[in-house]
Structure 1
Amino acid sequence: MIENSILLGWLARLWAVLTGAWTESGLGRACRRCESAAARWSEGSVLWQFVWRDGVLPRVWPESLACRLFSGILNIPCAIAKWIYRVGKGIWDGSLAFRFVSALGGASFVFLGLLMLVMLVVPHDYWNNAYGLVGAVGVTALFIVGSAARPRHRLEAERLGPYMLFYLILLFYALVGSLSTSLSMRYFLFHVTSFLLVLLVVSSVQKYEQLRLMVALVIAGLVVASLYGCYQSYVGVEIVASQQDMTVNEGMPGRIYSFFDNPNNFAEILAMLIPLDIALFLGAKTWRGRFWSLAALVPCLVSIGATYGRSSWIGLTLAVLVLVALENWRFIPVALVLGLCAVPFLPQTIYNRILTIGNMEDSSTQYRFSIYEATGNLMRDYWYRGVGLDPQVMQRVFQTYPTMFDGSYPIHTHNNYLQMWGETGILGLIAYVAVLLHGLKTGVKQFYKTMDKRVRHMLAASIGALCGIMVISVAEYTWFYPRNMFVYWFLFGVIFACIKLGRSEQQAR
């Protein structure tokens, strides 16, 4: 059907013509010369070698006492489960119930995918953030039981690198040193949930097919949320004045939010997960796989458009550009040209919304700068130690300073990095940024060493998505809604799962 398709045949011929024109064009030749020059420069550049090399901490981490202690403590439950199994091996092997539970534990990646699916489809009014913790603990317990009869199965915390340990220690310090420990405990548990999600993604995935199934379940949940978002766009939702300044967004309809509390929350989740669906499309081996991943993409793109989340549009654009750059940077000009060509076909309301990006007359932009000014007042007193975890703690401290121009106080800093700085102090911010940069650098390096194209596609997509949400985090506090926080760290776990698969492939060669 595909081979005989007139439309696809025309598109293939058009692509061949464009590719040939690009190859022979002056710009194409200039780009190839720049590529050769960049390759020669990078080979001899001291700066490039300094940036690209492994740091001292990552090099010594696997054999360090801190790594062994960290990994050993986390794996105490697995060690106990394995010991109990060895002691009563005959009894356990003869137990139908144990074999069933053990089989479920061996497929914990499936239950992790289902947990994330449920997290994406439960309406806001029925969601409790404690469900995330209970679910993460439950899947971890299942993994531990499953590891009893599997000698190689363990919680692979050492794969996350040294900065994660420092980050966790500083989170605990922010809890203990909080101006309100009782309030901070709530967000500390959210951080625990996030760490368990990262750890489970890395530890439960042993081969690409498992990673693909887990991600496919997550995308299925995203599609359900997106279809409901499309329905909201069709029937219309109420315009909320605090979410859209109608003086500069004339004619814009109400912003959809699907199963989440706020349009920005939904848009951020879409920006993080849409690239993973693109990876499934690129890695599909059958036309059915490509069809369903492409079909899943349609409601997701419609929904992110209808959220009118400008920062998320920018983040998703960057995510796709990073993905394309990693796959083949020569397609970047083509992607940019196609993007510009698509602008005239956008709905007028979306086009008008794009034009408001950076518009200082927009009340939301003005309000952000007022929040940053108020945050600066707080930082002068708490920059070195932080006020403690949880935006509610920061809200209380804000109330001891002058109000903003409208007489109110910020509920958060509207910026992940400022928020982490304000909550955990300067060392917490440094550890947080170090964790992210280590993940990106390790992921990019492994991308060029991995031969399995499917793993490369998923790694490029997850790196792109993380870059996108990091940019969104400059304009939004993406963790104010904990479900977004959980998806954020799930995405981070996907990067390290791909790194693990790539390294396993290298060792097998």
Structure 2
Amino acid sequence: MNSVWQRFTLSDLPLSQWRGGSYLYRLVGFLSAWREGSWFLQWANPLGAVILCAIVLIAPFTNSSNPTGVLLIAAGGYWLMLTLSDRLKTGSTPIHIAVGVYWCIALIATAFSDVKSAAFSGLIKLTLFLFMFLLGAQVLRSPRLRNWVMAVYLHVSLLVSAYGIRQQYKGVEQLATWNDPTSLLAEETRVYSFLGNPNLLAGYLITAIALSIAALFIWRGYLPKTLAGVMLVINTTCLFFTDSRGGWIAALALLITFFLLLRYWFAEYLPTFWRIWLVPMLFGSMTAVIILGITLVEPLRLRVMSIFAGREDSSNNFRINVWEAVFRMIGDHPIIGIGPGNDAFKQVYPLYARSGYGDALGAYSIFLETLVEVGWVGFALFLWFGVITFNLGLQQLARLRQIKDEQAFWLMAAIAACAGMLVHGLFDTVWYRPPINTLWWLMVALIASFFQSQEMSSEQ
């Protein structure tokens, strides 16, 4: 049974044999001599980190995807240059293989799409975001560069959160009907900071909260740890002010995941009593705090109760109508979908939408969105990619625990952030917007950057 799982997750894949038998992989490193003699490429990985930081810096502050797209193209070109000149040839991981297979299915879905031009546009967008993953997985292998890139993102997110909190107390124009107009919260302020949408801001802050917790453990010295604590408080407060129900649930999933990983990490240091009772006591305390908050804080209670209001809540009703149309779309395109991207979705969706609900940006669920874009084949591969990613993360966490490497806290943050974003994605598709999608692939790249195969371990 264990061998079946290892094969399914590519845990026992002999990457060295695969590399040796791959004609494409033989291109890797053929420019290594040029790299060794180039003054410019002596700074290859730091320059790659600069590109990653530039993407992180610009993503939340631009309403257009064009600037981010230009930087992602630069990331792809630079990754290709690094790969062709990589003498060590250690860049591939099981995650790379899963991502590559998924991209191939997206390519096939584009070829068979009824709206090929729109699907091709979506394929290009997917490819650009994958450049973020490819460059990040290579650059973030360096602990020093990893620390710098995470620090840059955390400082940017602090600015984003601080401005969001300012909106809460100074007031801000509500750019859309984000609250049910018949609700007692109809006039409630929902902050959106620089991102223009409270749900989008909530999705952005999930990663910030996870990395803030990690920084508490990794950053050394009183002042850096204090700064990490301030970041955690401000990011969490801003998330609360978004009034994003999906964001709140995602944050809960994030915290539970992170706590379980911390419990695993510190298990050997815990007395027997705490090993047995820590998890039940914490979950009991969290449940009590949530119930108390819902009971005593009316805006929180009304917002949480609206989750269970069904069609009586306008936001719920809109999503339900979109989901019904999406199910019909999936029924008509079950195998390979309509093609990737929201442009393809926007062209096909009106043919299935109910009257008055013909305008939707996506399926309001990343899982349904994947199903409708690339069909059941692509959806199965998406789930496979997710299993491989989390499995690799947990494997490398076990390895880091044995050598007591504190960089493991970044890995825990990446795993928890991915879990939170996936939970958020159950009810929304903000995941596909550049500020969130870049963070998703940055976190996947962060997990991949810790990869060390059994072959590599035996050589050390």
- The TM-score with structure 2 as length reference comes to 0.86
Which residue, out of 358, 365, 368, partners 1:418?
A: 368
Alignment partner of 2:221 out of 286, 311, 320: 286
Cα distance in 2 for residues equivalent to 1:147 and 1:386: 32
Is 2:204 the partner of 1:204? no
Q: Aligned partners of 2:106, 2:375: CA distance in 1, in Å? A: 10
Query: 1:271 touches 1:313 (CA, 8 Å); kept in 2?
Result: no
Structure 2 CA distance for aligned equivalents of residues 135 and 352 of structure 1: 42
- Distance in 2 of aligned mates of 1:493 and 1:369: 34
Between 136-145 and 263-272, the greater mean CA deviation after superposition: 136-145
Matched, 1:478 2:414: no
The answer to whether 1:394 aligns with 2:330 is no
- CA distance in 2 between counterparts of 1:242 and 1:454 reads 45
Matched, 1:254 2:195: no
Which stretch has the larger CA shift, 312-321 or 137-146? 137-146
CA displacement at 1:240 relative to structure 2: 5.3
Deviation at 1:122, TM superposition (A): 1.8
Deviation at 1:493, TM superposition (A): 1.0
Query: Which of 22, 25, 34 lines up with 1:72 in the alignment?
Result: 25
Q: Any idea what the Cα deviations from partners look like across 1:14-44, whole Å, max 9, x if unmatched?
A: xxxxxxxxxxxxxxxxxxxxxxxxxxxxxxx
Moved more, 57-66 or 203-212: 57-66
CA distance in 1: counterparts of 2:45 and 2:455, whole angstroms: 19
Kept in 2, the 8 Å contact 1:394–1:423? The answer is: yes
Relative distance call for 1:69 and 1:371 in structure 2 (3 A) is same
Cα deviation 1:116-173 (Å, max 9, x = unaligned): 332344242xxx3232232133245445666788733x57134525322210111211
1:206 CA drift (Å): 3.2
The answer to whether the aligner puts 1:455 opposite 2:402 as a matched pair is no
* Bigger Cα displacement from structure 2, 479-488 vs 411-420: 479-488
Partner of 1:385: 336
Please give the per-residue CA displacement for 1:364-412, whole angstroms capped at 9, x wherever unaligned: 11222211111121122111121112222222222223x4263535432
* C-alpha spacing 1:359/1:70, structure 2 compared with 1 (3 Å): farther
Contact 1:117-1:220 at 8 Å conserved across structures: no
Equivalent of residue 112 in structure 2, options 160, 177, 191: 177
Amino acid at match of 1:399: P
* Partner of residue 374 from structure 1, selected from 306, 319, 325: 325
TM-score, L = length of structure 1? 0.78
**Alignment partner of 1:107: what SS?**
helix
* 2:303 is the alignment partner of 1:353: yes
Tell me how far apart the structure 2 counterparts of residues 196 and 250 of structure 1 sit (CA, whole Å).
41
Distance, in Å, in 2 between the alignment partners of 1:376 and 1:143 is: 38
Per-residue CA deviation, residues 401-447 of structure 1 (Å, 9 max, x unaligned), is 3x426353543211111111111122111111111111011211221
Aligned length: 442
Instruction: Name 1:336's counterpart in structure 2.
Output: 283
Q: Which has the higher contact order (CA 8 A, sep 6+)?
A: 2
Unaligned runs of 5+ in 1: 1-45, 93-98
Cα distance change on mapping 1:505 and 1:354 into 2, 3 Å: farther
What is the aligned partner in structure 2 of residue 38 from structure 1? none
State the distance in 1 between where 2:167 and 2:448 align: 36
The aligned counterpart of 2:55 is: 116
Any idea what the Cα deviations from partners look like across 1:200-231, whole Å, max 9, x if unmatched?
A: 12111333232121111111111111111112
The alpha-carbon deviation at position 318 of structure 1 amounts to 0.8
1:466 to 404, 418, 432: 418
Residues 226-305 of structure 1: pairs in structure 2 closer than 5 A: 226-239=161-174, 242-250=177-185, 253-305=188-240
Q: Distance in 2 between matches of 1:262 and 1:70?
A: 46
In the other structure, the counterpart of 1:105 is: 44
Quick one: which amino acid aligns to residue 22 of structure 2? Answer: L
Cα offset for 1:111? 0.9
The separation in 1 between residues aligned to 2:81 and 2:49, in whole angstroms, is 15
Letter in 1 for 2:67: Y
Q: Distance in 2 between matches of 1:146 and 1:385?
A: 34
Q: How far apart, in 2, do the equivalents of 1:347 and 1:499 lie?
A: 45
Looking at structure 2, the residues matched to 455 and 294 of structure 1 have their Cα atoms a distance apart, in angstroms, of: 18
Cα contact 2:35–2:42 (8 A) shared by 1: no
Cα root mean square deviation, aligned: 3.0
Does residue 362 (structure 1) correspond to residue 298 (structure 2)? The answer is: no
**C-alpha distance in structure 2 between counterparts of 1:499 and 1:155, whole Å:** 10
Helix, strand or coil for the counterpart of 2:451?
Answer: helix
Identity level (%) = 17
Does residue 1:133 correspond to 2:85, yes or no? no
Larger Rg: 1
Contact 1:109-1:214 within 8 A present in 2 as well:
no
Query: Contact 1:143/1:204 (CA < 8 Å) preserved in 2?
Result: no
CA distance in 2, matches of 1:298, 1:505: 40
Secondary structure of the residue aligned to 2:336 is: coil
Which deviates further from its counterpart, 243-252 or 443-452? 243-252
